[in-house]
């Protein structure tokens, strides 16, 4: 049996960056979205930024952040972290693991460099905000 047959595909789980145009400077937040009709449990999200510094050409990597959530209901949105414009020139990777019906699922989401920019945001009706969804 091939390894790809053992690992179930992940569908209905998304990462989204939403713009918060509240008071003062605009802020960007990363959210995990459960668009599945099922409850997911034991959720772990790790995030890291990596790539090339545009000024120096050197490889850079941010700290790795880890977040956990016990449960997400169907249709639920969970705020994971604030994301700084300083890392928009990097690959921003979010690795999500969760349990559903006693099966462990994993999926990697990557926002490519310079995709999280104001001019690339679209209105996301589901959230009633501008953002980018993977």
Q: Model confidence over 121-130: pLDDT tens digits?
A: 888 888 888 8
User: What is the rounded CA–CA span in Å between residue 98 and residue 52?
Assistant: 31
3-133: CATH topology is Immunoglobulin-like (2.60.40)
The pTM of this model reads 0.88
Q: Where are the alpha helices (DSSP H) in the chain?
A: 3-6
The domain locations on the chain are 3-133
What are the pLDDT digits (tens) for 57-111?
A: 889 999 999 999 999 999 999 999 999 999 999 999 999 999 999 889 999 999 9
Residues near 29 by beta carbon (within 8 Å), at least 6 away in sequence: 17, 18, 20, 79, 80, 81, 82, 83
């Amino acid at each position: 049996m091939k390894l790809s047959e053992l690992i179930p595909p992940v569908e209905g789980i998304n990462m989204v960056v939403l713009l918060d145009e509240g008071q003062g400077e605009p802020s960007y937040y990363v959210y995990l979205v459960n668009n599945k009709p099922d409850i997911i449990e034991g959720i772990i999200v790790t995030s890291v930024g990596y790539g090339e510094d545009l000024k120096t050409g050197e490889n850079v990597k941010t700290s790795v952040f880890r977040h956990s959530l016990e449960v997400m209901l169907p249709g639920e949105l969970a705020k994971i972290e604030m994301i700084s414009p300083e890392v928009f020139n990097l690959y921003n990777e979010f690795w999500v693991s969760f349990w559903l019906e006693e099966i462990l699922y994993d999926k990697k989401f990557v926002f490519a460099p310079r995709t999280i920019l104001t001019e690339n945001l679209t209105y996301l009706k589901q959230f009633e905000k501008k953002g980018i969804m993977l």
